[in-house]
């Protein structure tokens, strides 16, 4: 695959991942809003952690992939 196609595919995938994780984080933060007293603080933190940790892992994968694409040139 030519490098230009690889870069295009990478950025399309990165944008899709960003939009998906932004929607996940938004939904978690809306449900875990402080006004909702039925959910404990520990449960709120757990929900946020289960949304943030995969986002960080995905960011690491994207950075590693980008470095692989760049060094292939």
Q: What is the percentage of the chain residues whose pLDDT exceeds 90?
A: 26
Look at 70 and 57; give whichever has higher pLDDT: 57
Cα–Cα distance measured from residue 47 to residue 28, given in angstroms and rounded to the nearest whole number: 7
Q: Is the pLDDT of residue 42 over 70?
A: yes
Beta carbons of 32 and 47 less than 8 angstroms apart: yes
Region 12-30 average pLDDT: 89
Q: Is the pLDDT of residue 33 over 60?
A: no
Q: Is the pLDDT of residue 19 over 90?
A: yes
- SS3 assignment, position 40: coil
Q: Is the pLDDT of residue 39 over 80?
A: no
Alpha helices in 1-73 (DSSP H): 3-31, 41-71
The residues near 7 (Cβ < 8 Å, ≥ 6 apart) are: 69
Q: Is the pLDDT of residue 46 over 80?
A: yes
């Amino acid at each position: 695959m030519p490098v230009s196609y690889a870069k295009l595919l990478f950025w399309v995938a990165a944008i899709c991942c960003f939009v998906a994780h932004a929607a996940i984080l938004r939904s978690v933060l809306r449900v875990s809003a402080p006004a909702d007293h039925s959910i404990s603080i520990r449960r709120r933190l757990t929900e946020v952690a289960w949304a943030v940790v995969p986002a960080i892992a995905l960011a690491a994968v994207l950075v590693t992939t980008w470095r692989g694409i760049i060094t292939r040139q």
